[in-house]
Structure 1
């Protein structure tokens, strides 16, 4: 008589990310000419601020407030701005799309690994990577990765090249402001190009071809205008440090690869109570740090771990949207083993 041991989540379970962006670099130039691009440097600025923070009740005495205002709020901050003979910011980075989506890089349980691979194959057979790839392509074309630099820009053009042997085998150009950040429905002349780009990314995720993309965005913001690289998190400030430190690579302002990756995976519209907020970044608990809220709560069985365990261990197939979410989380990568 044979007894089957119930399948358990592997204690070691890890996935490598399959969308692998480089850091982005900032250059300044002219929208019309586009032939002379200067690296954009980060510089320091010292400013004299005033007391403007919310005061505790004990500090709201008029005499105390007047005394506090007499002491200036002196700050040294990093700033990045276009020179006064350039009206356009160029943001450029590369993106590798890797195959093997859903295949763990580490898994210490052979039976769990086998069931996982069978489940992933079932998903690919039913849906393929078309829907996720279409959304990733849309987030490249609409310039979501520009973050604050996209806001208030007069024009934004995104050029995406499929690089083969270091040369552009195919290139697409998009009017980023003509594509929505709230949904993934494209109409007009961009539709065919988005379909082509999405198909290429899907081929990369399925491992059918090597996919390396060169992404360049041209953002017309105006001469001398401030632009916004990533801000560094300084854990140990010490004495006399700047109150804001901006990211730079070899003296050139830039955006962290992690921030680019977050923008590219902002494809989750399947979370509970999805409404006016629009898509959120794919995270196991649907975390949106700017709102201090997790949209995929374990209590509601809507988080990645509950969905994955129900799918693999209990054969409860999630809805189609939640299947896309689980696969997008595996593409994001991470360590998902059972807690010890």
Structure 2
């Protein structure tokens, strides 16, 4: 460990942290009456909707019809429930420093001193013989966000029941997602603590575990068959074809016949298996930052982001003094069990580019 507390005026010109978590896409399945699982499809079809646009009247007759080509995802007509599956792995924090080099204007001492500061923070977070309370708390928060099904996004809101199971080797933990707190951390159940211990052991480099996660959603009697679910939505930008309402994320084989613009007008066509994109799931799992200054008034955890960027609020919740860029300059001054230290542990799990050129 270092004996001298160091606060850097700037970070190395080349600095990248590799994320310490990998998440697969979440695949949707219909559970059939015999218990088998059937891939839940995204289909593309046309419909005639209505125009409802909030705009000033011009005196011209407003078009009422809204002809659309859109994607939807619905369960099988015989489905008894919906099953969503994913895999999650965590990796040692000590292997996260991917690139660290000087820019042309950096002082040569910056690199060695920064690496000492970085290593000091990691050594105080976990070693071969112990795991800090700060690292364990971050791991417990990840465990809670797996258990409460936050990663199911809108689908969670419509379900009557959500049972989440996590398999780690021969060990299986089961959670009632709708009864697991969504916006508070603490008072963890025994299974949450067990899952948190598995996660912490991976982050500390004590073990390697692959978590197999499954959620079973029930939408109520008579509602499971031909029920719409909500995979990730694709962003098409300015190139969206005219009349194309919505594109949903799907994986696997498509029936769109290699159409160059992905527009096949032969009735409803299979786009692929419905899925939640891995990046969307990872965002939900790291929605555990209650350490930002506005939490007391906002009341909601936000996703761990360098500057606390939040799409719901359309604002960053962390400024120049409490961003991970600022804390990265003072790693060996941070208490790993403090709110700042736990945020930085979570930021290192997230990974990111922290390169900083020029004088700061």
TM interval, shorter chain, is 0.7 to 0.9
Question: Which of 231, 235, 248 matches 1:233?
Answer: 235
Aligned: 1:327 with 2:345: yes
Alpha-carbon deviation of 1:238?
5.4
Aligned: 1:76 with 2:96: no
Alpha-carbon deviation of 1:74?
1.3
Contact 1:29–1:37 (CA under 8 A) maintained in structure 2: yes
CA RMSD between the two structures: 2.2
SS state of the match for residue 134, structure 1?
Answer: helix
How many residues are treated as equivalent by the alignment? Answer: 315
Contact 2:7–2:329 (CA under 8 A) maintained in structure 1: no
Question: Which of 262, 281, 294 matches 2:316?
Answer: 294
Q: Distance in 2 between matches of 1:133 and 1:319?
A: 13
SS state of the match for residue 69, structure 1?
Answer: coil
Q: Distance in 1 between matches of 2:337 and 2:31?
A: 48
Aligned: 1:269 with 2:290: yes
Alpha-carbon deviation of 1:34?
6.8
Q: Distance in 2 between matches of 1:243 and 1:152?
A: 23
Quick check: 256-265 or 274-283, which moved more? 274-283
Alpha-carbon deviation of 1:152?
2.2
Alpha-carbon deviation of 1:225?
1.4
Normalised to the residue count of structure 2, the TM-score between the two structures is 0.81
Q: Distance in 2 between matches of 1:34 and 1:102?
A: 45
Q: Which residue does the alignment assign to 2:105?
A: none
Q: Distance in 2 between matches of 1:226 and 1:316?
A: 47
Alpha-carbon deviation of 1:289?
0.8
Q: Distance in 2 between matches of 1:231 and 1:144?
A: 17
Q: Which residue does the alignment assign to 2:47?
A: 47
Q: Deviations over 1:96-128 (max 9, x none)?
A: 111135741111123311221112222446535
Q: Deviations over 1:271-292 (max 9, x none)?
A: 0120343211000111111221
Q: Distance in 1 between matches of 2:199 and 2:161?
A: 26
Aligned: 1:154 with 2:160: yes
Contact 2:50–2:66 (CA under 8 A) maintained in structure 1: yes
Question: Which of 144, 147, 150 matches 2:150?
Answer: 144
- Decide whether aligned partners of structure 1 residues 317 and 199 sit closer, same or farther in structure 2, where only a CA change above 3 A counts: closer
Contact 1:100–1:206 (CA under 8 A) maintained in structure 2: yes
Pairwise mapping of residues 128-143 of structure 1 onto structure 2 (< 5 A)?
129-143=135-149
Normalised to the residue count of structure 1, the TM-score between the two structures is 0.86
List runs of 5+ in structure 1 lacking aligned partners: 164-168
SS state of the match for residue 226, structure 1?
Answer: coil
Q: Distance in 1 between matches of 2:76 and 2:307?
A: 42
Question: Which of 283, 289, 307 matches 1:285?
Answer: 307
SS state of the match for residue 113, structure 1?
Answer: helix
Alpha-carbon deviation of 1:305?
1.3
Q: Which residue does the alignment assign to 1:29?
A: 31
Q: Distance in 1 between matches of 2:151 and 2:145?
A: 7
Quick check: 151-160 or 230-239, which moved more? 230-239
